[in-house]
Each structure stands twice: as C-alpha cells, then as structure tokens.
Amino acid sequence: MKFFVDTANLAQIKEAHDLGILDGVTTNPSLMAKEGIKGEAAINQHYKTICEMVNGDISAEVLSTDFESIIKEGQQLAALHPNIVVKVPMIKDGIKAIKWFTDHKIRTNCTLIFSAGQAILAAKAGATYVSPFIGRIDDSSWDGMELIAQMRQIFDVQGYSTEILAASIRSGLHIVKAAELGADVCTCPLDSILALLKHPLTDIGLAKFLEDAKKM
Ligand code: E4P
C-alpha cells in the first residue's frame, strides 16, 4: 500500500517525506485554505512547491463544477507538473470530465466517494484513483471500512485498474485496516502516520535495553 500525506502544510509534508516512506500528497480546498493559500497564482505556486518536495503523485483539486470549466481548470493544473493528478468531485459533470481526461492522458482522482456505485462509475470513466472518505462515513455512523472491502471485491472481480485511495483517515487503526482490506493507497494526516510508530511495550523495552547497556 502506498502512503500519501493528506495536507497542504509544507512542514508536515517535509516531515512525512523525511521518514522515507512517502509516495505522494493529497490536498483539497479546505486544506489549502487552512494554510492561507489564496488566489490562482499562489495556489499554483504551492502545488509546484509540493511537486518539487515529493517525487510522487500530487492531487490538485478543481474548484469548478461544470464540464467545460472542469476541463479547462484540470488542463491548467496538469500543466503545472507531470506528477499532478487532477482531483475531480463525484458529480455528473465530474464523471464526464474524468472520461475526457482519461481519453487525453490526464490522470485523475475522483474525490468525495461514499458508495460502491459512485466508485464503479468513476472506475468506468477511467479514474486513476477513487477516494472513499472513510472517516466521514464513520462520522455518520456507518462503517467506512465496509466500503473499502466492497470496492476491493468489485474492482478485483471486474478487473478495474483504478486504484482505491482510502481517504479521510482519522487514526493509525484506519491505516492498518485499509492495508488489511487491500486499499492501494492510504492518504493520511501526519499524526495518523506517526501513530503507527507507537507502542508502550516498545518504549518500555527500549528503556530497559538502554539501562542494561550501561552495564555492558
Ligand atoms: C483527501 O483526498 C480528502 O480530501 C481528505 O482525506 C478528506 O479528509 P477529512 O474528512 O478529514 O476532511
């Protein structure tokens, strides 16, 4: 399973990259706004900076919701860097646009996926990635991981090459379950990646080894 970091914060991207396990970055308008990135020039520059920091797929989300505008915006985003993946919302014009991008060799990430039916449509349109929002499904008292399992089964049975990108991750456990169920990618806040490092017995064991090392 590939690891993407789900943030537009450059310090967090650097920290994840320095771990040596980072395969890419996802952003969305909320994450960009959180970093105070405003205006087309600043947004484009921020994407370029991220692309220079991480040699992997970088999702950049369109803000348009009609077919013509999504195409225009997606082409501009894709032209910023070869590693840009155009992130398109799961709406009717979004699916049409994903098919157009597929036909024109522009890679896409279909975002805001909450059902297997939506995932099938995105895969049929040729999306490179589909992003089921695990945490937001859990927040609504459904089981987000059930969607990952269902998508894995459907994509395998149907032979879809679209990658399942588990998104809206809230914890280290989400990452472990996504890996167990066969997600191709997990995009995670830095905290959730770092949570994987932790186990109290590791801390206790290391403290004892270091104490005993003094007697060596
Ligand atoms: C990633 O592509 C999504 O935009 C992101 O994971 C959403 O996460 P959230 O539900 O924590 O906002």
Condensed to tens digits (0 to 9), the pLDDT of residues 37-86 reads 999 999 999 999 999 999 999 999 999 999 999 999 999 999 999 999 99
Query: Tens digits of per-residue pLDDT, 136-195?
Result: 999 999 999 999 999 999 999 999 999 999 999 999 999 999 999 999 999 999 999 999
If you measure from the C-alpha of residue 29 to the centroid of ligand 1, how many angstroms do you get, rounded to a whole number? 10
If you measure from the C-alpha of residue 167 to the centroid of ligand 1, how many angstroms do you get, rounded to a whole number? 6
Q: Which of 4, 108, 133, 164 to mutate to test the pocket of ligand 1 (most atoms within 8 A of CB)?
A: 133
Q: What's 159's DSSP letter?
A: T
If you measure from the C-alpha of residue 196 to the centroid of ligand 1, how many angstroms do you get, rounded to a whole number? 19
Query: Tens digits of per-residue pLDDT, 6-45?
Result: 999 999 999 999 999 999 999 999 999 999 999 999 999 9
On whether the CB atoms of residues 77 and 62 are closer than 8 A, the answer is yes
Q: How confident is the model at residue 98 (pLDDT cuts 50, 70, 90)?
A: very high
DSSP SS3 for 131: strand
In angstroms, the CA 55 to CA 122 distance is 25
Q: State residue 133's pLDDT score.
A: 98
Burial class (CB in 10 A: 0-12, 13-18, 19+), 33: exposed
Q: Which two tokens stand for residue 53?
A: 């920091």
Residue found under tokens 């894709």: 78
Q: State residue 204's pLDDT score.
A: 98
Q: Count CB neighbours of 88 within 10 A.
A: 30
Q: How far is CA 123 from CA 76, 130, 204, 208, 211, in A?
A: 23, 7, 47, 51, 55
Active site residue 87: yes
Q: State residue 111's pLDDT score.
A: 98
Q: State residue 214's pLDDT score.
A: 97
Q: State residue 7's pLDDT score.
A: 98
Q: State residue 158's pLDDT score.
A: 98
In angstroms, the CA 149 to CA 183 distance is 8
The H or E element that residue 96 is part of is helix 92-103
Cα angle 37, 62, 15 (rounded to 5 degrees) comes to 50
For residue 91, give the amino acid letter. I
